[in-house]
Structure 1
Amino acid sequence: MSIVVVTDSTASLPADVARHAGVETVPLQVVIGAEVLDEGDDGATPERVALALKEFVPVSTSRPSPEAMLETYERLVAGGATGIVSVHLSAEMSGTYESAQLAAAKASVPVVAVDSRQVGIGTGFAALAAASAARGGASLGDAAEVARERALATRSFFYVDTLEYLRRGGRVGAAAALLGGALAVKPLLQIADGRVESLERVRTSGRALARLAELAAEAAGERPVDIGVAHLANPDKAAALADDLADRLVDHLDGREVWCGEIGAVLGAHVGPGMIAVCVAPA
Structure 2
Amino acid sequence: MKTAVMTDSNSGITKEEADRLGIFLLPMPVIINEQTYYEGINLEQRFFYESLIEGHDVSTSQPSPGDVMDMWKQILSKGYDEIIHIPMSSGLSSSCATAIGLAEDFQGKVQVADNHRISVTMRIAVMEALHMANEGRSAREIREDLEKRAYDSSIFLAVDDLKYLKKGGRITPAAAALGTVFHIKPVLTIQGEKLDAFAKTRGMKKAKAIMLKALKEDLEKRFPGIDSKYVRIGAAGSGLSLEESREWQAMLQEMFPEVQVYYDHLSFSVGSHTGPGVYGMGFSIVQDPSIS
TM-score, structure 2 as length reference = 0.87
Matched, 1:227 2:225: no
Structure 2, unmatched stretches of 5+, are: 287-292
**Unaligned 5+ runs, structure 1:** none
Deviations 1:191-228 (A, max 9, x none): 02410110011111111122222223234434331111
CA–CA separation in structure 2 for the residues paired with 1:119 and 1:182: 31
Distance in 1, matches of 2:90 and 2:63, equals 13
Q: 2:275 aligns with which of 244, 248, 272?
A: 272
Task: Please report how far the alpha carbon of residue 91 of structure 1 lies from its aligned counterpart in structure 2 after TM superposition.
Answer: 1.7
Q: Please say if 1:72 is aligned against 2:71.
A: yes
1:240 aligns with 2:247: yes
TM-score by length of 1: 0.89
Pairs within 5 Å for 1:1-283: 1-40=1-40, 42-107=41-106, 110-170=109-169, 172-174=170-172, 177=176, 180-181=179-180, 183-221=182-220, 222-223=225-226, 224=228, 225-235=231-241, 236-253=243-260, 258-283=261-286
Q: Which amino acid aligns with 2:256?
A: L
| Paired residue secondary structure (1:278) | strand
Q: Distance in 1 between matches of 2:184 and 2:63?
A: 35
Return the offset for 1:106.
2.1
Alpha-carbon distance in 1 for matches of 2:106, 2:176:
42
| CA-CA distance at 1:65 after TM superposition | 1.2
SS in 2 for 1:187: strand
SS in 1 for 2:121: helix
The one-letter amino acid paired with 1:139 is S
Inter-CA distance 15–151: structure 2 relative to 1 (3 Å threshold): farther
- Amino acid of the structure 2 residue aligned with 1:128: M
How much does 1:123 deviate?
1.6
Q: Distance in 1 between matches of 2:89 and 2:166?
A: 18
Percent identity between matched residues is 25
1:66 Cα deviation from its structure 2 partner: 1.4
Separation (CA, whole Å) in 2 of partners of 1:105 and 1:88:
16
How many residues are treated as equivalent by the alignment?
277
Say if 2:153 and 2:192, in contact at 8 Å, map to a contact too: no
